[in-house]
Amino acid sequence: MAYQGKQILHSFVAGEDLSSDQFKAVYVGSDGLIYNDDSTGTRNFIGILQDKPASGAAGSVCLFGITKVAVSGATTTGAKFEAGTTPYTVGVVLGGTGGAGVATVLITQAESAE
């Protein structure tokens, strides 16, 4: 069963329609807006979107804490969670699903390699 707990949240403006991206990882674009599209496979995600903002609307992002996360496959409690190929959002799965659905993850911020 997925659940949420204490979080550090920050509000960002959506740079695209994110109304179907609740509990998915987002990144901040060069324009300061948040996006979910990772077609390049190189995005550094900052956190997990908590709501469903339309383009131009404010969205709340969990930067640190316990949150639900949309997953496309099975998860294992205690497994590492990463978003992106060079992850800045990482954490540990606290409770999973048997398949696609929502897992509960403790989100922490990895340190930059720079």
Which domains can be identified in the chain, with CATH numbers?
A: 7-109 (2.40.300.10)
User: Is the pLDDT confidence value at 85 over 60?
Assistant: no
Grade residue 113 by pLDDT with cuts at 50, 70 and 90. Answer: very low
Q: Are the beta carbons of 27 and 35 closer than 8 angstroms?
A: yes
Render pLDDT for 61-70 as a digit per residue (tens, 0 to 9): 998 888 888 8
Q: Which residues contact 13 (CB under 8 A, 6 or more apart)?
A: 32, 33, 34, 53, 56, 57, 58, 59
**What number of other Cβ atoms are within 10 A of residue 93's Cβ?**
19
Task: Please report the pLDDT score of residue 35 as a whole number.
Answer: 95
Grade residue 76 by pLDDT with cuts at 50, 70 and 90. Answer: confident
Grade residue 57 by pLDDT with cuts at 50, 70 and 90. Answer: very high
Of 47, 103, 46, the closest CA to residue 71 belongs to 103
How many residues are given for the chain?
A: 114
In the chain, the N- to C-terminal Cα span, in Å, equals 37
